[in-house]
Amino acid sequence: MGHQQLYWSHPRKFGQGSRSCRVCSNRHGLIRKYGLNMCRQCFRQYAKDIGFVKVRLCCIHCN
């Protein structure tokens, strides 16, 4: 068996190697919550288009 047959021949069904960003195919910084499956860089780029709103909690204990 040569290198070409062995390279990336192990099945990737579980773990970090099996998942990638649906936009850029990056494997690092993946956000899987709510079925997003996007890396954090793409999420920041498309968050407003998806419908996410950044919420800023001012002071809770101001009174």
Provide the whole-model pTM.
0.72
State the Cα–Cα distance between residues 52 and 60, nearest whole angstrom. 22
CATH class of 3-50: few secondary structures
How is residue 3 written in tokens? 């290198």
Q: What is the pLDDT of residue 3?
A: 84
Residue 3's contacts (CB-CB under 8 Å, 6 or more residues apart) are: none
Higher pLDDT, 55 or 22: 22
C-alpha Rg value of the chain to the nearest Å: 19
**What pLDDT is recorded for position 48?**
95
pLDDT value for 57? 80
Whether the predicted pLDDT of 23 surpasses 70: yes
Sign of dihedral through CA atoms 32, 38, 39, 41? Answer: negative
CA-to-CA distance for 23 and 19, rounded, in angstroms?
12
